[in-house]
């Protein structure tokens, strides 16, 4: 994974062509990061401390929160430094680590969201058999499988990307070291890397998204067969938060990795990349807590325990 011919730093251009935006983006990114830290940490704590949340749905949710925490932490501190100051460099080692983590956690999240769609499918379409199908052992296997697939994807794609012959200017036209940006930085033949990225996009983006759409198609048919309006609302409520998260995440990731080759698309992709790296992880806790009564009740119970412990 070490590129002997390219030992110097990279320059992350980010939004330097729009200097008037950098101060605003610094505040937005910092605020979003703080929300990400607080919101996702709270969800993890509630899932661990409250016995009523020791169910498959919240095991998946706590893993998603852990992914979001690690994902944003791998890039946001460097991004804040670049937005605040004039020095916008990152070492080759730092860029390598950032690329590896981005691929690892981003791929894991794609698979985990698919697993959560399967969980929602069983909950709505097979409610009487839910506890039998989504048992604790299977739940742990599905979560572990998502992490392993993400790790394998990163191990496969990171080394060839870092071995590219990068141009002498070493200016990465992005705010983070990502595969598309590093491929554009290369002055050599990138055919193999582009094919590899296309194949990876099919297996990590297109196939999981297709499975999610199939799951929700079956869920929609099952919901429409429910006679009572209350029953339909309840069934829809179990899926709406996950569906919103899937829409936000996949729409922004697809805009980055499945974009046409032109300057306008690349410029637009930077904003979408910023959104899925910073915006989505900060919105996920809000989406799940605002639309999930169990999480809100667990939060109230946690506050009550803390207040009782202080009084005693």
What is the spatial distance between Cα 98 and Cα 210, in angstroms, rounded to a whole number? 28
What is the spatial distance between Cα 164 and Cα 197, in angstroms, rounded to a whole number? 14
The whole-number pLDDT of residue 64 equals: 93
- In-domain check, residue 82: yes
Flag whether the pTM goes above 0.85: yes
Beta strands at 10-12 and 171-172: parallel, antiparallel or unpaired = parallel
What is the spatial distance between Cα 251 and Cα 81, in angstroms, rounded to a whole number? 27
The whole-number pLDDT of residue 87 equals: 77
CB count in 10 Å sphere of residue 261: 9
The whole-number pLDDT of residue 270 equals: 77
Report the number of distinct structural domains present in the chain: 1
Range of the domain at 214: 10-311
- In-domain check, residue 255: yes
CB count in 10 Å sphere of residue 89: 15
CATH of the domain at 114: 1.20.1070.10
φ/ψ of 204, rounded to 5, equals -100, -25
Beta strands at 89-90 and 10-12: parallel, antiparallel or unpaired = antiparallel
- In-domain check, residue 2: no
What is the spatial distance between Cα 144 and Cα 108, in angstroms, rounded to a whole number? 10
- In-domain check, residue 275: yes
For 9, 76, 164, 304, 306, the CA distances from 297, given in Å and listed in that order, are 49, 31, 52, 10, 14
- In-domain check, residue 62: yes
For 11, 237, 283, 294, the CA distances from 290, given in Å and listed in that order, are 40, 11, 11, 10
3-state secondary structure of 287: helix
- DSSP 8-class letter at 166: B
- In-domain check, residue 4: no
- In-domain check, residue 171: yes
pLDDT in tens, 81-93: 888 877 788 888 9
List per-residue pLDDT tens for the chain, 312 residues long: 444 434 578 888 877 777 777 888 889 999 999 999 998 998 898 888 887 778 888 899 999 999 999 999 988 888 888 888 777 888 889 899 999 998 999 999 999 999 999 999 998 888 888 889 998 899 999 999 999 999 999 999 999 999 999 888 888 888 888 888 899 888 888 999 999 999 999 999 999 999 999 999 999 888 888 777 777 777 777 788 888 889 888 888 888 777 666 666 666 777 788 888 888 888 888 887 766 677 777 767 766 665 555 555
- In-domain check, residue 203: yes
* Residue 33 · residue 72 · CB < 8 Å: yes
């Amino acid at each position: 994974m070490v590129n002997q011919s390219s030992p110097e730093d990279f320059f992350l251009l980010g939004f330097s062509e729009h200097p008037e935006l950098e101060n605003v983006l610094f505040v937005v990114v910092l605020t979003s990061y703080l929300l990400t830290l607080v919101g996702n940490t709270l969800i993890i704590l509630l899932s661990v401390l409250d016995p009523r949340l020791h169910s498959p749905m919240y095991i998946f949710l706590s893993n998603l929160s852990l992914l979001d925490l690690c994902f944003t932490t791998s890039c946001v501190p460097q991004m804040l430094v670049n937005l605040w100051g004039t020095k916008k460099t990152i070492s080759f080692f730092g860029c390598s680590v950032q690329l590896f983590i981005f691929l690892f956690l981003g791929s894991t999240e794609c698979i985990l969201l698919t697993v959560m769609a399967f969980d929602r499918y069983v909950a709505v379409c097979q409610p009487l058999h839910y506890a039998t199908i989504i048992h604790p052992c299977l739940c742990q296997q599905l979560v572990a499988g998502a992490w392993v697939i993400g790790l394998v994807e990163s191990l496969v794609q990171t080394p060839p990307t870092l071995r590219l012959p990068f141009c002498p200017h070493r200016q990465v036209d992005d705010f983070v070291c990502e595969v598309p940006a590093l491929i554009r930085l290369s002055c050599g033949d990138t055919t193999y890397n582009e094919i590899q990225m296309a194949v990876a996009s099919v297996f990590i983006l297109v196939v999981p998204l297709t499975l999610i759409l199939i799951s929700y198609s079956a869920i929609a048919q099952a919901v429409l067969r429910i006679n009572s309006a209350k029953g339909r609302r309840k069934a829809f409520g179990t899926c709406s938060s996950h569906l919103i998260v899937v829409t936000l995440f996949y729409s922004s990731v697809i805009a980055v990795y499945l974009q046409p080759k032109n300057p306008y698309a690349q410029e637009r992709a930077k904003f979408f990349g910023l959104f899925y790296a910073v915006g989505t992880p900060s919105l996920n806790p809000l989406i799940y807590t605002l639309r999930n009564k169990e999480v809100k009740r667990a939060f109230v119970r946690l506050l009550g325990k803390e207040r009782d412990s202080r009084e005693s």
